[in-house]
Structure 1
Amino acid sequence: MSRSSEGRLIVISNRVSAPKGSTSGAQGGLAVALAAALRENGGIWFGWSGEVTEQYTGQIDFQRNQGVTTAVVDLEEQDVEEYYEGYANRTLWPLFHYRIDLAEYERDFAGGYQRTNERFAKTVRPLIEPDDLIWIQDYHMFPLGAELRKLGCQNRIGFFLHIPWPPRRLLATLPGAKALVEAMFDYDLLGFHTQEWLESFCDFAIHEMGATIEGDVARVGDRCVRLLADPIGIDAKEFAQASAGVQARLSYRRMRDSADGRDMIVGVDRLDYSKGLEERFSGYERFLIEHPEERKEVFLLQIAPPSRVSVETYRRIRNSLEGLAGRINGEYADVDWVPIRYVNQGYSRDVLAGIYRAAKIGLVTPLRDGMNLVAKEYVAAQNPEDPGVLILSRFAGAAEQMKDALLINPYSAEEISDAIQQALRMPKEERIARWQALMDGVQKEDVTWWATRFLDSLRQARPRIEEPA
């Protein structure tokens, strides 16, 4: 990314991930990319601190770490309950992942979501200078651009969605869906991970709002927004280096020793119903049933750190998985082997790199996912001379780029079982050829490529002319 002479970069997201030392290994790809963009362009990363205060004051806590300035504010408990836990994670998240059966439509949630975005806008507005680029991240902040426009902000403002955009018929079940989409026309650029999510947005805008699409521009009345399919990547070079580091080597040896000659299948997912973990366990059980000769020769390591523990739906999925893992282990285990190792904790990225490298199969089977960077991390961590095989859900955004993986329908236990057997028996030559094609894509379309494409497109947007009062 080359530094622009047009001004600083203002990144706004629900949570701010301050840069950490390289030894931590815990930062995700998005945090790495945004921090790099901020270092190149100068600017500020603004968002919620994760802390709760009795009364919202808009008091900003500024910090500077490794060349990146962060600015965070505390929220009231009611804001957290209605904006974050409510509308963002109990309404939008399930709906946008095609789970309208789990979506909760409450006026208090919607009101808190709008109120909190208004507060964010009023708090960050004094920090914005006329030439700054503004880049807003994800579903927590759909209306933030419109709120900044109301406060007279004429800067170029881009928005990137990190989750899927649902089909028109599903989105139509959301009260106020048209208002939500209408607010997105106050952005200059909308980014999606895949062409499918972009087209779903266009379908709603056309049929529900009378929009027209001209090239990469959507227009409603006299308002227009440019659209971009821009799949996020990982820092492939850094992750490959991490997989050869001290912590990764120790982790690799630990896993190989504990495997005791068996082939390891690995899944690494945040504990969430969108990740298809129950269906994954069922598919693995089908494999054990259909291929009894493979028992004791293989095991599944599922790492699933808990998330959003205050939301009832997430407590239910945890209980369900614990019961399913217990039943499968009780039915098929022997005194010297258990089919599933189920771990409810997170690990640093360098430790995970070693675990990925030790795994014969990477099992990534979300029911619906905006992208899924675990698939790319698994590929980047492999030994080029003896790589493992990636099994990937065709409903993950990553499947659009990673066609040399074994693509499966995660709802089908039979397809999961067949893919596991195919991966275990795949000749080394085919494994190397598939891995090389996947790795070429992971390296070429990395996280820097993603951020550069978006910011270059945002800079090309026509500046808005402030209308006279």
Structure 2
Amino acid sequence: MAPIQKKMIVISNRLPFVIQKDDKGATIRKHSAGGLVTAVAPVVVENDGKWVGWPGPDYDFGTPLPESSPDDTTPTAGLKSSNVIPVPLSPNLYQSYYNGCCNETFWPLFHSMPDRAVFSAECWKAYVEANILFAKNTVKGLDDMCNDDDDGPTLVWIHDYHLMLAAHAIREYASKKQYKIKLGFFLHIPFPSWDLFRLFPWADEILQGMLACDLVGMHIHDYCVNFIDCCNRRLGTRVDVKEMLVEHGGRYVRVAPLPIGIPFSRFVSLAKEAKRTIPEDKRVVLGVDRLDYTKGLPQRLKAFELLLAKHPEYIEKIELLQIAVPSRTDVKEYMDLKEQMDQLVGCINGRFSTATWSPIRYIYGTIGQQELAAFYRDAAICFVTPLRDGMNLVAKEYVACQINSPPGVLIVSPFAGAGQNMLEALLCNPYELTETMETLHRALTMPEDERTLRMNYLRKREKNQDVNFWMKSFLKAIGRLSEEGSPIVLPNSLKPLSMEDFDEYFAIRNSLFNQKLALLLDYDGTLAPLAPHPDLAIIPPQTKELLQRLANIPDVYIAIISGRGVNNVKEMVGVDNITYAGSHGLEIIHPDGSKFHYPMPPEYEQKANALLKELQDQVCKDGAWVESKGVYMTFHYRNVPLDTQPDLVSKAKDLIEEHGFVASHAHAAVEAKPPINWNKGRASIYILRTAFGLDWSERVTIIYAGDDTTDEDAIQALKGMALTFRITQNDISVKTAADRRLTSTQCVVTLLRWVERYCARLPINKPGSVCTAPSAPANAKN
């Protein structure tokens, strides 16, 4: 493995070794097996990297972590305790986060078994809390690594479904500290399709947590496509399925199929050294699985029973050796599965056993890798038939251990990741017992030359694409591995948003298009780029000119709806013949000069004055200030030092709520609003009703665009009746009801240009006429 030449931090649910107590009560390390540790630990050691993870229940926080023993030859032997960052998780938190959300929700849902999934708000809260803890402890490593003279970015590599939110918190912290990092994520289980993933109540947060990374890796292409599709359909982000890119928060996230391998040469060595455990004259069908409902073990036993019933010539000629590793033994669902397996084994053995032979040998327990390698080597068939599996390394380990001649036969389920690239294996659908039985029969009768040919191809691929190849592939994809003669991979990007993209989108929403068009637009962050001070948020001249041209089109109606005072926003925009709404719609000036003021209870003016004085006295310091807009006001803290911000923001929020106002977060600001039933949503409907009558929704095409939480009120109020856009210009996690996301004010300009072009193509206005949006070009990308 060539060095990546930069430091790295690896984050996983568990550390790469287990902390235990020996007989004398001393804390010791015990090596953890697995491809992740085997592949990644040596690279972490070589590059003086750090590993973040939970040390297990036996570790006493506050005590020093043990160093590896002098005779330790495992991959983690060189990992110094000073480079290990243990994450403290209380027993209750771990129970709700790991056993609750991870195992009872994500595991069944991501394995396409939604009927087994439990959706619990309490467990989700624990999952969020645990991910924040992992992120905070990762930050300790970043503080060490990013304060040296090295200008290069630090690689942070997050693993698996336990930590799908951690990247967001890490990136947010690194951005504030101006640390240079590259974030990578690898999911070791399947990613479900949109129809399944949408069942999860907090799907937005999961997607945006993963999109905080620069690279999202998954085992196979199908999982990547599922993820990209969910981003497009749930978040409304721009995607490129062909190039595997997702646009989010002004960044481009690459999604890459990176199938994990195994330490091939190590298993070959184990197979060569292992003693024979299966007699040469015995034909064994081998199954090795964790006892889990995703593995399809009952279906496997029933298919084997069907084989013996349909082909009695196999009686006393073959044996099914099923190794079931105990898992979650304290969970009723798994206890029931064990009982079902025990009953099936007893039933089948009782039905077909003879005086000298039983069809099934069932081992419920854990066996060592040396003995397992012997089983792999000597088994005639490896029976890998999960109902759903991320990859399934058993299939690869069996292939590596097939050093005998003639070799055995591999049977794989197409619903395992391995079934997507180990195409020389025999594939069978485990849900269809007859097909599974016939595939098993074919494997038992396969000619020797065919077995040899298939296994040679399988072994060649797994040898070349071993776990080190997987590690290299990930580092290349994220642009961190530099080899002689091989340039560093640079991040790619989508083509800039164009009017053709809007052609495609609006063609889908054809039914909403009418002759008249209403544009409802926010100002700050939508028409004008955000600025350190509101007075500096100037609308670009070309945007202003475009708005004026649109305002001069008879069938186009424009309203600017802002949190600013109405006179201020009118002055800032400076376009004639349009409607201006200020203070989130409390004050409105129509094109003819008529005005609307929401009837505000008098007591709120007095409360607002008192609140303004308290905010100025108590929190207007260190660069913070208050912008007063009558009964609305905004506390700005953009220029406050980072370490001071949390306390000031918390204090301001408390003051706002103590005075009976509603506090809501904006861009580096906290807004104080009176608790009245009026917002941008109610104001939008009032404006449309005033301009077009009570039946406005039947006669007007509405486009709404905004960038703030206050715009969500309008986006939700107009849901289904309008084409809505939310501008998200940074990596802050944003949950929105908008149809699509735009990444900058320049994208809004492109939208307005599309509207101008669309209006230029309209026929002469006729009362009651309806127009259709232009069709998407034939070569448009999904």
CA-CA distance at 1:58 after TM superposition? 8.3
CA-CA distance at 1:74 after TM superposition? 4.0
- Are 2:447 and 1:427 aligned? yes
Q: Are the aligned partners of 1:53 and 1:77 in contact in 2 as well (CA < 8 Å)?
A: no
Q: Are the aligned partners of 2:52 and 2:137 in contact in 1 as well (CA < 8 Å)?
A: no
2:411 to 391, 396, 399: 391
CA-CA distance at 1:59 after TM superposition? 7.5
For residue 255 of structure 2, give the secondary structure of its aligned residue in structure 1.
strand
Q: Name the counterpart of 1:162.
A: 188
For residue 92 of structure 1, give the secondary structure of its aligned residue in structure 2.
helix
Task: Figure out how many residues of one structure are paired with residues of the other and give that number.
Answer: 452
| Partner deviation per Cα, 1:365-394 (whole Å, 9 max, x = no partner) | 011111011000001101252100001101
| Partner deviation per Cα, 1:135-179 (whole Å, 9 max, x = no partner) | 100000000101112323541110000000001010111111112
User: TM-score scaled to structure 2, two decimals?
Assistant: 0.56
Q: Are the aligned partners of 2:352 and 2:358 in contact in 1 as well (CA < 8 Å)?
A: yes
1:11 & 1:237 partners in 2: Cα distance?
Answer: 25
**1:44-443 superposed matches below 5 A:** 44-51=50-57, 61=65, 63-64=67-68, 65-69=76-80, 70-128=84-142, 129-130=145-146, 131-152=153-174, 154=179, 155-214=181-240, 215-245=243-273, 248=274, 250=275, 253-256=276-279, 261-443=281-463
Structure with greater helix share of residues: 1
1:309 & 1:162 partners in 2: Cα distance?
Answer: 23
For residue 337 of structure 1, give the secondary structure of its aligned residue in structure 2.
coil
Q: Please tell me the residue identity of whatever aligns with 2:56.
A: G
Q: Are the aligned partners of 2:190 and 2:223 in contact in 1 as well (CA < 8 Å)?
A: yes
For residue 13 of structure 1, give the secondary structure of its aligned residue in structure 2.
strand
Q: Are the aligned partners of 2:85 and 2:137 in contact in 1 as well (CA < 8 Å)?
A: no
Q: Please tell me the residue identity of whatever aligns with 1:319.
A: E
1:440 & 1:378 partners in 2: Cα distance?
Answer: 13
Q: Are the aligned partners of 2:428 and 2:439 in contact in 1 as well (CA < 8 Å)?
A: yes
1:61 & 1:113 partners in 2: Cα distance?
Answer: 26
Q: Name the counterpart of 2:42.
A: 36
For residue 152 of structure 1, give the secondary structure of its aligned residue in structure 2.
helix
Q: Are the aligned partners of 1:52 and 1:74 in contact in 2 as well (CA < 8 Å)?
A: no
Rate the CA distance shift 1:48–1:400 in 2: closer, same or farther, 3 A: same
2:65 & 2:87 partners in 1: Cα distance?
Answer: 6
Larger Rg: 2
2:256 & 2:65 partners in 1: Cα distance?
Answer: 33
| Segment of structure 1 superposing worse, 397-406 or 45-54 | 45-54
Q: Are the aligned partners of 1:58 and 1:73 in contact in 2 as well (CA < 8 Å)?
A: no
Q: Please tell me the residue identity of whatever aligns with 1:61.
A: L
| Segment of structure 1 superposing worse, 373-382 or 328-337 | 328-337
Q: Name the counterpart of 1:18.
A: 17
Say which structure, 1 or 2, has more relative contact order (CA 8 Å, 6+ apart): 1
Q: Are the aligned partners of 2:271 and 2:403 in contact in 1 as well (CA < 8 Å)?
A: no
1:59 & 1:456 partners in 2: Cα distance?
Answer: 38
1:37 & 1:365 partners in 2: Cα distance?
Answer: 33
2:408 & 2:386 partners in 1: Cα distance?
Answer: 19
1:73 & 1:143 partners in 2: Cα distance?
Answer: 15
For residue 55 of structure 2, give the secondary structure of its aligned residue in structure 1.
strand
2:102 & 2:247 partners in 1: Cα distance?
Answer: 27
Q: Are the aligned partners of 1:138 and 1:161 in contact in 2 as well (CA < 8 Å)?
A: yes
Q: Are the aligned partners of 1:386 and 1:428 in contact in 2 as well (CA < 8 Å)?
A: yes
Q: Are the aligned partners of 1:357 and 1:378 in contact in 2 as well (CA < 8 Å)?
A: yes
For residue 286 of structure 1, give the secondary structure of its aligned residue in structure 2.
helix
| Segment of structure 1 superposing worse, 404-413 or 11-20 | 11-20
Q: Please tell me the residue identity of whatever aligns with 2:413.
A: S
For residue 391 of structure 2, give the secondary structure of its aligned residue in structure 1.
coil
1:150 & 1:176 partners in 2: Cα distance?
Answer: 20
Rate the CA distance shift 1:26–1:67 in 2: closer, same or farther, 3 A: closer
1:158 & 1:29 partners in 2: Cα distance?
Answer: 18
| Segment of structure 1 superposing worse, 330-339 or 369-378 | 330-339
Q: Are the aligned partners of 1:234 and 1:447 in contact in 2 as well (CA < 8 Å)?
A: yes
Q: Are the aligned partners of 1:287 and 1:417 in contact in 2 as well (CA < 8 Å)?
A: yes
1:205 & 1:415 partners in 2: Cα distance?
Answer: 36
1:143 & 1:311 partners in 2: Cα distance?
Answer: 26
For residue 51 of structure 1, give the secondary structure of its aligned residue in structure 2.
coil
Query: Where does structure 2 lack aligned partners over 5 or more consecutive residues?
Result: 20-29, 69-75, 147-152, 481-488, 493-531, 533-637, 640-782
Q: Please tell me the residue identity of whatever aligns with 2:165.
A: P
Q: Name the counterpart of 2:33.
A: 27
1:9 & 1:138 partners in 2: Cα distance?
Answer: 17
| Partner deviation per Cα, 1:410-468 (whole Å, 9 max, x = no partner) | 111112211111111111111100000101110111100101110122234669xxx98
Q: Please tell me the residue identity of whatever aligns with 1:4.
A: I
2:473 & 2:380 partners in 1: Cα distance?
Answer: 34
Q: Please tell me the residue identity of whatever aligns with 1:292.
A: P
Q: Are the aligned partners of 1:61 and 1:73 in contact in 2 as well (CA < 8 Å)?
A: no
CA-CA distance at 1:25 after TM superposition? 9.9
Q: Please tell me the residue identity of whatever aligns with 2:163.
A: M
1:342 & 1:410 partners in 2: Cα distance?
Answer: 20
Rate the CA distance shift 1:384–1:255 in 2: closer, same or farther, 3 A: closer
Q: Are the aligned partners of 1:53 and 1:75 in contact in 2 as well (CA < 8 Å)?
A: no
2:46 & 2:32 partners in 1: Cα distance?
Answer: 22
Rate the CA distance shift 1:145–1:25 in 2: closer, same or farther, 3 A: closer
Q: State the superposition RMSD in angstroms.
A: 2.3
Q: Please tell me the residue identity of whatever aligns with 1:424.
A: L
1:356 & 1:66 partners in 2: Cα distance?
Answer: 28
Q: Please tell me the residue identity of whatever aligns with 1:376.
A: K
For residue 151 of structure 1, give the secondary structure of its aligned residue in structure 2.
helix
Q: Provide runs of 4+ in structure 1 moved above 6 Å.
A: 57-60
2:215 & 2:62 partners in 1: Cα distance?
Answer: 28
2:372 & 2:254 partners in 1: Cα distance?
Answer: 38
Q: Are the aligned partners of 1:202 and 1:218 in contact in 2 as well (CA < 8 Å)?
A: yes
1:168 & 1:362 partners in 2: Cα distance?
Answer: 33
CA-CA distance at 1:4 after TM superposition? 2.4
1:461 & 1:225 partners in 2: Cα distance?
Answer: 12
2:439 & 2:269 partners in 1: Cα distance?
Answer: 29
CA-CA distance at 1:19 after TM superposition? 9.7
Q: Are the aligned partners of 1:82 and 1:113 in contact in 2 as well (CA < 8 Å)?
A: yes
2:59 & 2:7 partners in 1: Cα distance?
Answer: 30
| Partner deviation per Cα, 1:233-276 (whole Å, 9 max, x = no partner) | 0111111111001xx1x2xx22227xxx3310000001111111
2:209 & 2:85 partners in 1: Cα distance?
Answer: 25
2:156 & 2:313 partners in 1: Cα distance?
Answer: 57
- Among all aligned residue pairs of Structure 1 and Structure 2, give the percentage whose two residues are the same amino acid: 37
CA-CA distance at 1:183 after TM superposition? 1.6
For residue 353 of structure 1, give the secondary structure of its aligned residue in structure 2.
helix
2:155 & 2:64 partners in 1: Cα distance?
Answer: 20
CA-CA distance at 1:53 after TM superposition? 7.7
